[in-house]
Structures are given as C-alpha cells and as structure tokens.
C-alpha cells in the first residue's frame, strides 16, 4: 500500500480518537502518541528492510560467480 494511503488512515484514526466522547483528553493524547510511535517504527522498519535487501542483492551479485565456479550454481 502506498505511503500516502497509510498516512490517510493514520490521520483518520487520530481524528476518530480526538472525536471520541468516552475518552478523556489524557487518554486521547496517550493513544495518539502510541499510534504515532508505532507508525514511525513501521516506517523505519521499511527503510531498514529495503536497505538490507539492497545490500543482500549487492552481495549476491558478487558471490554468484564464486558459487558457479565451485559448482554450487
């Protein structure tokens, strides 16, 4: 799912929390803080995994000829 779709869902969720009549201001603030933290962690994880994937592809390109030379490919 594209980044902007996730961001739209995040904003709708935050708005729903802000407008919920049964939550205190402290509960609303705490819930939004947790959601924003989880969202930031999720975005960071995506960056880390993308970088790892790129590094593995680089390594694979360098190792593949060696594996072929020794008959493992």
Model pLDDT for residues 3-25, shown as the tens digit of each residue: 678 889 999 999 999 999 999 99
What DSSP assignment string belongs to 23-71? S-HHHHHHHHHHHHHHHHHHHHHHHHHHHHHHHHHHHHHHHHHHHHHTT
> Taking the model in full, what pTM does it have?
0.62
- Measured CA to CA, the distance from residue 4 to residue 2 in angstroms comes to 6
Residue with tokens 């705490």: 30
* pLDDT reported for residue 2: 59
How do residues 34-56 score in pLDDT, each as one tens digit?
A: 999 999 998 899 899 899 888 98
């Amino acid at each position: 799912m594209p980044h902007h779709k996730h961001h739209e869902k995040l904003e709708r969720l935050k708005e729903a929390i802000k407008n919920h009549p049964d939550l205190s201001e402290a509960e609303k603030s705490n819930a939004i803080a947790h959601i924003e933290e989880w969202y930031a962690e999720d975005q960071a994880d995506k960056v880390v995994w993308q970088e790892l994937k790129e590094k593995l592809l680089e390594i694979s390109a360098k190792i593949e000829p060696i594996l072929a030379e020794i008959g493992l490919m």
